[in-house]
Chains A and B, each alone.
Chain A
Amino acid sequence: MIQDTIAEIKNPALSIQDLCVYYDQNKAVKNVSVDIKKNTVTAIMGPSGCGKSTLLRALNRMHELYDNIRTEGKVLIHDQNIYDVPAIKLRRQMGMVFQRPNPFPTMSIYENVIAGYKLNGIRLKKGEKDEVVERSLRDVALWDEVKDTLHKKGTFLSGGQQQRLCIARALAFGPEIILMDEPTSALDPIATSKVEDLLVKLKENYTIILVTHNMTQAARISDYSLFMYLGELVEYGKTKNMFTNPIDPRTEQYLTGKFG
């Protein structure tokens, strides 16, 4: 059930068309069609197990790693189906932040931030590297905490710091779209609000798709919201409208805490 306002999205950052994802025979995402507006934060909400992560991971073709997962449908980026673009190129356009922090254990904090360049064999001058590292770490409000220990292993950081490091790693490579799977679920309230402020700031230059369990977070920072239930897209619209005036009874029940 798509609200009228959505019909207006022109020139979307991503156009998801009839997307299905199967784990073996289990259809975890069912015929989802959505246009994601550029330079917005779009929140994906829904109870645990409804397919939020599965939908998100279909967008940068993460599922291709696993033989038992199959996807159907189309996702257009710049009017091109993501399945027609080389996966490597696609993933450079889409940064991803995972549910659990996963810094590279063999790399220092510094190397983790520029891992995108390092792993892709893109050489930067020392000055450029320093600049990318500092800017990315400042963006995620981690710079002051780690500026004296940049050459220590990233895995020595606390869970919340590691997650911000992973966000910095995704930002450093300059993607167009950032996919985030509950990026703040491991953070304390202060770090969470820092990351939220960051997302609001980032949407000037990036399009952000954010899976979140936290409804107040979705209400605070997202422009559009997408509510999923049992693999289906139930409702999609401007966050303000969805929170004040949900159309589908299941959305209303979820938002008022009846389930989820």
Chain B
Amino acid sequence: MNTTENIRLQDTSKGRQLKDKLILGLVILLSLITISPIVLIIGKLVAKGYRQISLEFLIKNTPDTYTAMTALANGERIPGGIANGIVGTLIMVVLASAIAIPVGIIVGIFLYENPGKRLANFTRSLSDVLQGVPSIVLGLISYLWVVKHVTNGYSALAGAVSLAIMMLPMIVRSTEETLKMIPNTLKEAALALGTPYHKVILRVLIPTGFSGMFTGILLGISRVLGETAPLMLTALGSSMINLDISKPTSAVPLLIWEFYNDPNMIDLIWSSSLMLMAIVLILNLISKQIAKKTK
């Protein structure tokens, strides 16, 4: 190999290094652009909201606008908290899960078991359509079904039904997809031992796919936690903690909307949003952790 060739080789390797660096820089830049909104949001929420967060914020009901105005005028921290919203959200999310999880898992198993059947295909398409329905429309449907005919008035139950309809397609899909990923050989192994079919599903397929299904459920929950629009038409809101599911109730996102509309309470928006965001993030982290653990 003579010297000129050597130099040319070095040149190209230098050129390649430059290209590598450029691409690396570009990748880093794009990643920064992607993560910057979430960082900015959290930063803003923490900066503006942390002052209101305290034990009182978690266990007291929302103040009325006059109390808030007085506190503002005296330059004090706004008294009270969002306990009514937290309790309402909890009740409705638990109720919605109690409705959507069993139904979603059963439908998901049905879809997995009958991949080519017409009823299954129809159900799957409907479930996909449902996933795309705007949440306010689901609120409207729950209003027509539950508010008008079941509880005869705005209620936590109506709110829970609208959230359940929203969670349903996510749970159906994640159940079906998770089961599909389980190799057939496992099913065969169980059947070859003389296991009845329903036990193959209950004792082998569901435990094997548990983490995937659980992840789907947690993502569904974190999705509906922040829903506001359907609750406006169903749960309405309440300034007190209300444990009766046939009566109107508050929810954290509903409170945020109310605070937004009240100039005296605007400071509470940030702390409430921070709370909501923290819960959603924690749920997301848990589901990621579970997904990772069982891989």
Given contacts A118-B203, A119-B199, A121-B199, contact A104 B191 (CB under 8 A): no
A65 CA to B187 CA, complexed, in Å:
9
Residue among B189, B200, B210 making CB contact with A166, cutoff 8 Å: B189
Please tell me if the beta carbons of A88 and B194 are within 8 angstroms of each other in the complex. Answer: yes
Given contacts A104-B208, A106-B207, A106-B208, whether A62 and B188 have CB atoms under 8 Å apart is yes
A89-107 contacts to B, CB under 8 A, are 89-92, 94-96, 98, 100, 102-106
Once the chains are docked, how many angstroms separate the CA of A92 from the CA of B191? 9
Chain A 219-237 interface 0/1 with B at a Cβ cutoff of 8 Å (1 = within) = 0000000000000000000
Q: In the complex, what's the smallest C-beta–C-beta distance from A159 to chain B, in angstroms?
A: 14
**Of listed A67, A105, A118, residue having the most chain B CB within 10 A:** A105
Name the interface residues of B238-276: CB closer than 8 Å to any CB of A. none
User: Cα distance A120–B190 when bound, in Å?
Assistant: 10
A12 an interface residue at 8 Å Cβ cutoff?
no
Contact between chains at A104 and B189 (CB < 8 Å): yes
Q: Is A169 an interface residue (CB 8 A)?
A: yes
Q: Are A120 and B192 in contact (CB under 8 A)?
A: no
Asked if residues A104 and B199 are in contact (CB atoms below 8 Å), the reply is no
A58 at the interface (CB under 8 A from B): no
Decide if A75 is an interface residue (CB 8 Å cutoff).
Answer: no
Mark each residue of chain B from 182 to 222: 1 if its CB lies under 8 Å from any CB of chain A, else 0.
Answer: 01111111111111100110011001101000000000000
Q: How far is the CA of A179 from the CA of B233 in the complex (A)?
A: 62
Point out the residues of chain A lying under 8 angstroms from B210, CB to CB.
106
A119 contacts B208, CB within 8 Å? no
Query: Is the CB–CB distance between B183 and A102 below 8 Å?
Result: yes
Report yes or no: B208 in contact with A60, Cβ–Cβ below 8 A: no
Say which residue of A104, A120, A169 sits within 8 Å of B194 (CB atoms): A120
Question: What is the minimal beta-carbon distance from B209 to any residue of chain A, in angstroms?
Answer: 10
Size bin of chain A's contact surface: 20 to 34
Q: B211 CB to closest chain A CB, in angstroms?
A: 10
Nearest neighbor of B182 in chain A, beta-carbon distance: A105
* A246, CB-defined interface residue at 8 Å: no
Interface size class of B (residues with CB under 8 A): 20 to 34
A20 within 8 A of B: no
Is the pair A67, B193 in contact by a Cβ cutoff of 8 Å? no
Q: How far is the CA of A228 from the CA of B12 in the complex (A)?
A: 60
A115 at the interface (CB under 8 A from B): yes
- Give the nearest-CB partner of B203 in chain A: A119
B184 proximity list for chain A (CB < 8 A): 65
What CA separation (Å) do A92 and B196 show in the bound complex?
Answer: 11
Contact flags A103-115 to B (C-beta < 8 A → 1, else 0): 1111000000001
- Output the least CB separation between B226 and chain A (Å): 33
Give the residue of A60, A67, A98, A169 whose beta carbon is less than 8 angstroms from that of B185.
Answer: A98
Please pick, from A67, A88, A98, A100, the residue contacting B116 in the complex, using a CB distance under 8 A.
Answer: A67
User: What is the CA–CA distance of A65 and B201 in the complex, to the nearest angstrom?
Assistant: 13
CA distance A60 to B193 in the complex (A): 10
CA distance A100 to B183 in the complex (A): 12
Q: Are A104 and B188 in contact (CB under 8 A)?
A: no
Complex CA distance for A91 and B197, rounded to whole angstroms:
12
Is the CB of A47 closer than 8 A to any CB of chain B? Answer: no
- Asked if A91 and B185 make an inter-chain contact with CB atoms under 8 angstroms apart, the answer reads no
Q: Check A91 against B194 for contact (C-beta < 8 Å).
A: yes
Given contacts A88-B196, A104-B186, A105-B208, contact A62 B191 (CB under 8 A): yes
Q: For B193, B199, B200, which residue has the most chain A Cβ atoms within 10 angstroms?
A: B193
A103 to B210, CA, bound (A): 17
Interface contact A119-B207, CB-CB below 8 Å: no
Pair A91/B192 contact, Cβ less than 8 Å: yes
Report the Cα distance A92→B193, complex, angstroms. 6
Residues 171-188 of chain B, each 1 if its beta carbon lies under 8 Å from chain A, else 0:
000000000000111111
Alpha-carbon distance between A170 and B192 when the two chains are bound, in angstroms: 9
> CA–CA, A103 to B192, complex, Å?
12
A119 contacts B186, C-beta separation under 8 Å: no
Select from chain B the residue with minimum beta-carbon distance to A68.
B116
Between-chain CB contacts (< 8 Å), 17 pairs: A65-B188, A91-B192, A92-B194, A96-B188, A96-B192, A98-B192, A102-B185, A102-B186, A106-B207, A106-B208, A115-B193, A119-B190, A119-B199, A119-B200, A119-B204, A169-B193, A173-B194
Extra contacts besides A119-B200, A120-B193 (9): CB < 8 Å: A60-B192, A65-B188, A88-B196, A95-B192, A96-B188, A106-B207, A120-B195, A120-B196, A170-B193
